[in-house]
Amino acid sequence: MATIEDFDTEIADIHTRIATLQAHRANLTSILLSQPHLPARLQQRPVLHERKRRSAAKFVEAQSKRNLENVYRACAGVTAYKVKDPDPYAVDNGNVLGVRVEVSIGGTFIETYHVLFNRPNAKQRNILKIHKHTIPPCIPLHPLANKWLPITRKDADATMEQSLVKFGRSLRKELVSWHLRQEALEKLRTEAGLGNKATQPEEDKPDTSIGKVLNAFVSDDEESEDEEEMRTARDGAVKITDIEGDMAVRELTITWSNGNTGALRVTKDGEIDKAVFRSRDGLRESAMERKAEGRIEGLVQRLTT
């Protein structure tokens, strides 16, 4: 007997099949529209309806525009575009210049950031001011804007030079290095056998705690459970139980199963320049500290060997 569930799964299957086929068709459409000589052929060949020819030509044009845009975006990393502010009260009639920063890691473009500028000064038309942006606060946008895009005060005599190109370049450097540090931290975690941060919450469902209490200083004679588990393998190698970084991945905290902790400072280009390691009883472990300094990649190997 076919139940309602059976029908439901069947319908769901058909839906997914339709979705795949449509994606396939969209793919084929864009391939067809990207054919090099298509516009010329559309012009030359006779067609039944002139209207259809025109609409076809429009699609070809849209596709070639997209292709061009994507090539620029993929190759240049930082691209500019124009948008219109819909606000009727916007400065400069709503003309907005957008700058787009692409971040690619491991062969894919993972994120796009935008900075939108307007021209607040009616007289000095080349002075740009940041209007809106999608840069996370852990990126020093304000200092960068201050440096490369200073706004000339009305009372000041000399006009300040603005350099949008240098601004874009340094902003892209900040963004890419941030993503690279994040990537490196993820790699460190997998190397230490800690599992992916994103998948972890699903795995440990019996753990009902709301979070990690940071000012709970547990007395020495009682250990947390996971530490006790580790203790069974005490004679074996001491394991890293946690590697944590802050949002900007400028500071790492490492916890070992024997209670040692380490705090490391990371520079923007991924160099560990300062490290402090302490054993359970608060003694500095300078040997470890020396080992830790260097590139962020390979930190786990340096510490475990």
Nearer to another protein, 18 or 165 (CB): 18
Least distance (Å) from another protein to the CB of residue 257? Answer: 14
Site string for another protein, 243-262 (x = CB under 8 A): ---xxx-xx-----------
Q: Verify binding: residue 215, another protein, rule CB under 8 A.
A: yes
Terminal-to-terminal C-alpha distance of the chain: 63
Interface pick for another protein out of 99, 127, 141, 188 (rule CB under 8 A): 141
Site string for another protein, 78-117 (x = CB under 8 A): -------xxxxxxx------x-x-x-x---xx--xxx-x-
Q: Verify binding: residue 39, another protein, rule CB under 8 A.
A: no
Q: Verify binding: residue 231, another protein, rule CB under 8 A.
A: no
Tell me which stretch binds another protein (CB under 8 A): 17-25, 36-44, 279-287, 295-303.
17-25
Pairing verdict, β 261-266 and 251-256: antiparallel
Q: Verify binding: residue 144, another protein, rule CB under 8 A.
A: yes
Least distance (Å) from another protein to the CB of residue 135? Answer: 7
Site string for another protein, 49-68 (x = CB under 8 A): ---x--x--xx--xx--xx-
CA–CA gap between residue 102 and residue 125 (Å, rounded): 27
Q: Verify binding: residue 136, another protein, rule CB under 8 A.
A: yes
Q: Verify binding: residue 216, another protein, rule CB under 8 A.
A: yes
Residue with tokens 């076809």: 56
CA–CA gap between residue 14 and residue 11 (Å, rounded): 5
Q: Which residues fall within 8 angstroms of residue 302, CB to CB, at 6 or more apart?
A: 291, 292, 294
Q: Verify binding: residue 132, another protein, rule CB under 8 A.
A: yes
Q: Verify binding: residue 142, another protein, rule CB under 8 A.
A: yes
Q: Do 119 and 128 contact (CB within 8 A), yes or no?
A: yes
- Which pairs count as long-range contacts for 90-95, CB under 8 Å and 24+ apart, including other chains? 90/118, 91/118, 91/119, 91/120, 92/118, 92/119, 92/120, 92/122, 95/119
Least distance (Å) from another protein to the CB of residue 305? Answer: 27
Q: Which of 198, 197, 170, 168 minimizes the C-alpha distance to 269?
A: 170
Q: Do 255 and 242 contact (CB within 8 A), yes or no?
A: yes
Nearer to another protein, 79 or 289 (CB): 79
Per CB under 8 A, contacts with another protein among 274-303 are none
